[in-house]
Amino acid sequence: MEGGEAGFRTRVLALVARIPPGRVMTYGQLAMLAGSPGAARQAGFVLGSLAGSDELPWQRVINAQGRVSTHKLGFGDLQERLLTAEGVVFDASGRCDLGTRQWWPEEEGPSTPPEPLLF
């Protein structure tokens, strides 16, 4: 397995590519699964280079509160529209239900639906 910053980026992008339509991951979950627990901000930086692109489903990564975090980058409305088109519902406060929408790769996640991670 690759190490360092390039290896982390490669693992993050590979995980994002696998998130199914209508499902989401949190930045913290993505960092943990990429082998760097606590590196949610770094995962966000990796995804920042993809925002607005159609190469990978970057829109499927949201924050631990179930909200879109890309409004300051100018992509928040786009991200919400893309997720809504996939069936993700946001409530009046801008949150989606992580309990039903959070995705775990089969080899990583528990056999029963997990409680949403708060990181």
CB 63 within 8 A of CB 26: yes
**What is the tens place of the pLDDT at every residue in 22-35?**
999 999 999 999 99
Percent of the chain with pLDDT over 90: 69
Distance, CA of 68 to CA of 16 (rounded, Å): 15
For residue 46, report the phi and psi dihedrals to the nearest 5 degrees.
-60, -45
Residue 62 is predicted with a pLDDT of 97
pLDDT-derived band at 63, boundaries 50, 70, 90? very high
Residue 54 is predicted with a pLDDT of 83
Tell me the pTM.
Answer: 0.84
Place of tokens 């989401």: 24
CB-neighbour burial class of residue 20 (10 A; exposed 0-12, middle 13-18, buried 19+): exposed
CATH of 4-101, one of 3.40.630.30, 3.40.50.10420, 1.10.10.10, 3.40.50.620: 1.10.10.10
| Domain chopping of the chain, boundaries | 4-101
Distance, CA of 2 to CA of 5 (rounded, Å): 9
Residue 45, number of CB atoms within 10 A of its CB: 13
pLDDT-derived band at 48, boundaries 50, 70, 90? confident
- Whether residue 104 has pLDDT greater than 60: yes
